[in-house]
Amino acid sequence: MDAFQYRQGTLLAEGVALTEIAQRFGTPTYVYSRRAIVDAFGEFRRAAAGRDVLVCYALKANSNLAVIDLLAREGAGFDIVSGGELQRVLAAGGDPAKVVFSGVGKTEAEMRMALQAGVRCFNVESESELARLDRVAGSMGRHAPVSLRVNPDVDPGTHPYISTGLRESKFGIAHDAALAAYRTASRLPHIEVTGIDCHIGSQITSLAPFLAALDKVLELIDALHAEGIALRHIDLGGGLGIRYDEEQPPSRGALLAAVFERIDRHARGKSCAILFEFGRSIVGNAGLLLTRVECLKRNGERRFAVVDAAMNDLMRPALYEAWHPVWPVQPREADAQHSWDIVGPVCESGDWLARERRLALAEGDLLAIGSAGAYGMAMASNYNTRPRAAEVMVDGGQAYLVRERETVESLYALERRLP
C-alpha cells in the first residue's frame, strides 16, 4: 500500500501525517488517498486501452460524492443498486449514459427514475422484473435497455455471504432458465435486449472462477444467436479481490488480459462491448480507518485495546470475521509488544476490529485499520447512537474533509415524541 507509508516514525497518507489528520478532524476518521484510487482505476483503464470496455465503479463499495466525482473525471461508468445511488451519481456529476442498474428488487419508482435519467442498461434478475420494467417503460413511452443477469452456478471460492453466483443464491436467473427468459424479453414491446450480465461474488482471489463464469456466458451467447437474439455487450460484474493479509489476487491487468484472451477466441463474443462492475479493487486499499486507543485492559489472559472506532464504523470483522491490517501511527519501537484484541465501545462481544495482534500500545495512541476503503463507511451504522465517522481525502500534501462527522442531533432529527 504505497499511498500509506512511514516517514521518520510516523504513518502518512500520501504527504500528510495521520497525526495531523487526527488533530484537525478528530477520530474515528476514514482517510482515503486520491492517488491510490486514481492509480487503481488507471490500471484497469490501461489494461482496457484500445478496446470497447467500460469499467463501471460499483458505488456500493464507497459512495462518497468525492470518490464518485473523482472516478467520473477519470472516465468511469457506475454500477448502481438503488435510486439513491443513481441520485449520488447525478449529484457528483457522473454520466447516466454510463450507468448500469443492478439489483434483485428494483421498485417502480426506481425504474422510472433510471429511465428518466437515461441509464445505459438495467441488469434484470427475474421474469417478474422484466414484466414490471416493460410496464413502467411503456407507461413512459420508452424502451428499457436490458441485459439479463445470469447465474452461472460457479463457486467463487470466497466467503459465503459474498458469494452470489451459486445455484442456491437469490441472485440472477438460473443458467438453464436464461434462454426462456431471453425469449420472453425479446417479445416484450418496451424492452430492448442489449446484453448479458453475471456477477459471481466478491473478494475473489483467483482467475479460474471468472473464466468459468465467462465460459458459461459465451455458451449462452451462442445459444441466443441460434435463436436470432444478438447481444451488444457482456457485463462480467465485479468481484476482483484485494490483498488484506496474505492473499495473492491476480492483478487488474492479468484479469482483464485473461478475459480478453478468452473473448477474442469466441466468434460472437469478440464483437461485444465488455463491461465490468468493480468496487473493492478500486477503493479497498485506498482507505484506512484512523482511530485512537481509549483504554487498555486485561481480562484473564486476554489484553484488550478499546478504541474509539467500533463495529458500527467498520462492520466487516463482526459480519464476516474479516481480517484488516492494524498499523500503529507512531510505532513504539522500544516498548514491549503484547498480543492485543482491538475492540470498540459497542455493547456486543462481536464488536471487534482485529484480534491477537502483536503491538506495543499505550492509551492515547493512534491506530490505522488498513484496507478499509471498500465496504467500510458504506456499511457504517449509527448503532449505540454513534455519529458516523468523518471522511477525509488526501491529495498530495493536502487533506480535504469530504464528509463531516455526524452530530448526535442529526441522528434523531427525524424522530418525533408523542403529542
The residues of the shown chain that bind ligand LLP, judged by CB under 6 A, are: 58, 61, 79, 102, 162, 164, 199, 202-203, 237-240, 277-281, 316, 375, 379
φ/ψ (deg, to 5) at 297 = -150, 160
The smaller minimum CB distance to ligand LLP, of residues 11 and 369, is found at 369
> To the nearest whole angstrom, how small is the minimum distance from the Cβ of residue 317 to ligand LLP?
10
**What is the smallest separation between the CB atom of 164 and ligand LLP, expressed in angstroms?**
6
Nearest-approach distance from CB 283 to ligand LLP, in angstroms: 8
Q: How far apart are CA 98 and CA 358, in angstroms?
A: 46
Instruction: Output 163 or 291, the one with its CB closest to ligand LLP.
Output: 163
Give backbone dihedrals phi and psi of 165, rounded to 5 degrees, phi first.
-105, 20
Which residues are annotated as catalytic? 347
| Shorter beta-carbon distance to ligand LLP: residue 11 or 275 | 275
CB of 161 to ligand LLP, least distance (A): 7
Kindly report each contact of residues 254-259 with a partner whose C-beta sits within 8 Å and lies 24 or more positions away, as own/partner: 254/207, 255/207, 255/210, 256/44, 256/47, 256/48, 256/53, 257/47, 258/207, 258/210, 258/211, 259/210, 259/211, 259/214
Task: Look up residue 354 and give its amino acid.
Answer: A
Reported as type and span, the H/E element at residue 327 is strand 326-328
Taking the complex as a whole, the smallest distance from the CB of residue 220 to ligand LLP amounts, in Å, to 18
C-beta closer to ligand LLP: residue 304 or 323: 323
> How many CB atoms lie under 10 A from the CB of residue 376?
27
Is the Cβ of residue 239 or residue 370 nearer to ligand LLP in the bound state?
239
Classify residue 406 by its DSSP letter: P
Cα angle 155-102-33, degrees, rounded to a multiple of 5: 85
